[in-house]
């Protein structure tokens, strides 16, 4: 029997447009999907509207792709000097900057068509998210905290989810928002540690450079802040001790990430970054099981 031929699949995955939108690297989509699902499950009191669920899941894919395009457009003169990004399509010339902008606009139109299926409040919130997505790639030129701005953009799914599900954004949602911001700074700081030698040479700023030598201490504190905010959210949204028990498992994953990155080696830091997919999944499963066994109280 002949061996299966996967050359066609390989060529498809290496297509410049798929690489520009990171379709070949779904980790970013997953890291955005998990807080979206946390928010929808809490906003929907365990039973998010199926229509909203489909809209937001599609929106995650579309906006992550759009964010990657605008990021690569902003960094097209920088990426060629970074080992990890030197083969990106805008650097190699496989895609022109003008074509990339057209692709970005098309994706925004698709995303806006999706959000138009929700309600007025969600539509209004979407403009704030767009502003953050466009701003983020340029922050690294003047601030050491682009990871914080990315976190603000990443966490924008929280108010949008509540707006879509409830038509209002309760003050309790702010705690989830802060948790997502802190968690995003955690995993993107691990990611920045991978590029730190190159970033130092070309003058790009990041938390990894600002915190050099103490980065694991600050990342650990942010991991703790993430857990505290999630525990407080559990209390505010009437979750049981089962959800808190799930956060203990999450804490174990955080400790494992710090241990992985202890030598500050690029490959190890990248593995610590990737491990955050399991953090998002663990939190979501803990929340789903908790709500299944202990449903929201009436009006809760």
Q: What is the dihedral of CA 105, 276, 55, 178, to 10 degrees?
A: -90
DSSP 167: S
For residues 257, 61, 172, 252, the Cα torsion angle rounded to the nearest 10 degrees is -20
Q: How far is CA 76 from CA 84, 85, 191, 220, 274, in A?
A: 13, 10, 19, 32, 24
Among 286, 253, 276, 261, CA closest to 31: 276
Q: What is the pLDDT of residue 299?
A: 58
Angle between helices 173-202 and 276-293 (to 10 degrees): 170
Give the distance, in angstroms, between the CA of residue 99 and the centroid of all CA atoms in the same chain. 25
Three-class SS string for 96-130?
Answer: CHHHHHHHHHHHHHHHHHHHCCCCHHHHHHHHHHH
Residues 6+ apart with CB under 8 A from 27: 274, 277
Report the distance separating Cα 55 and Cα 51, nearest Å.
6
- Distance CA(202)–CA(210), nearest Å, equals 15
**Which whole-number Å values give the CA distances from 74 to 41, 139, 140, 145, 279, in the listed order?**
35, 10, 11, 17, 30
Spell out the domain ranges in the chain: 9-293
One digit per residue, the tens of pLDDT, for the chain of length 300 reads 333 443 444 555 678 999 999 998 999 999 999 999 999 999 999 999 999 999 999 999 999 999 999 999 998 988 888 888 888 999 999 999 999 999 999 999 999 999 999 999 999 999 999 999 999 999 998 999 999 999 999 999 999 999 999 999 999 999 999 999 999 999 999 999 998 988 888 888 999 999 999 999 999 999 999 999 999 999 999 999 999 999 999 999 999 999 999 999 999 999 999 999 999 999 999 999 999 999 987 655
Q: What is the pTM of this model?
A: 0.93
Determine the Cα–Cα distance for residues 279 and 264; give it in Å rounded to an integer: 21
Residue 10 has a pLDDT of: 52
Give me the pLDDT at residue 298, please: 64
138 — phi, psi (to 5°)? -95, -10
Q: Report the distance separating Cα 17 and Cα 197, nearest Å.
A: 28
222, exposed or middle or buried, with CB in 10 Å at 0-12, 13-18, 19+?
A: buried
Per-residue pLDDT, 3 = 38
Q: Which fold has domain 9-293?
A: Tetracycline Repressor; domain 2 (1.10.357)
> What is the DSSP secondary structure assignment for residue 169, as one 8-state letter?
-
Which pLDDT does position 13 carry in this prediction? 63
Chain-centre distance of CA 286, in angstroms?
Answer: 19
pLDDT for residue 22: 92
């Amino acid at each position: 029997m002949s061996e299966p031929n996967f050359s066609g699949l390989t060529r498809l995955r290496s297509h410049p447009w798929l690489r520009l939108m990171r379709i070949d690297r779904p980790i970013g989509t997953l890291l955005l999907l998990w807080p979206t699902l946390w928010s929808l499950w809490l906003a929907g009191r365990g039973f998010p509207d199926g229509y909203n669920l489909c809209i937001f899941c599609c929106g995650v894919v579309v906006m992550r792709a759009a964010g990657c395009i605008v990021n690569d457009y902003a960094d097209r003169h920088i990426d060629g000097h970074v080992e990890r990004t030197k083969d990106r399509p805008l650097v190699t010339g496989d895609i022109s900057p003008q074509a990339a902008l057209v692709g970005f606009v098309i994706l925004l139109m698709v995303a806006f068509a999706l959000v138009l299926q929700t309600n007025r409040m969600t539509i209004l919130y979407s403009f704030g998210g767009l502003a953050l997505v466009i701003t983020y790639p340029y922050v690294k030129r003047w601030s050491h905290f682009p990871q914080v701005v990315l976190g603000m953009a990443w966490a924008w799914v929280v108010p949008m989810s509540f707006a879509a599900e409830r038509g209002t954004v309760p003050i309790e949602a702010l705690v989830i928002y802060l948790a997502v911001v802190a968690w995003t700074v955690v995993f993107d700081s691990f990611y920045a540690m991978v590029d730190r030698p190159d970033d130092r040479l070309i003058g790009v700023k990041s938390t990894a450079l600002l915190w050099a030598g103490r980065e694991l201490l600050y990342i650990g504190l942010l991991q703790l802040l993430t857990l505290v905010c999630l525990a407080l959210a559990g209390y505010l949204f009437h979750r049981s001790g089962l959800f808190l028990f799930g956060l203990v498992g999450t804490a174990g994953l955080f400790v494992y990430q710090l241990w992985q990155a202890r030598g500050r080696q690029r490959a190890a830091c990248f593995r610590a970054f990737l491990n955050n997919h399991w953090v998002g999944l663990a939190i979501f499963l803990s929340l789903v099981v908790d709500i299944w066994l202990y449903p929201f109280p009436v009006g809760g």
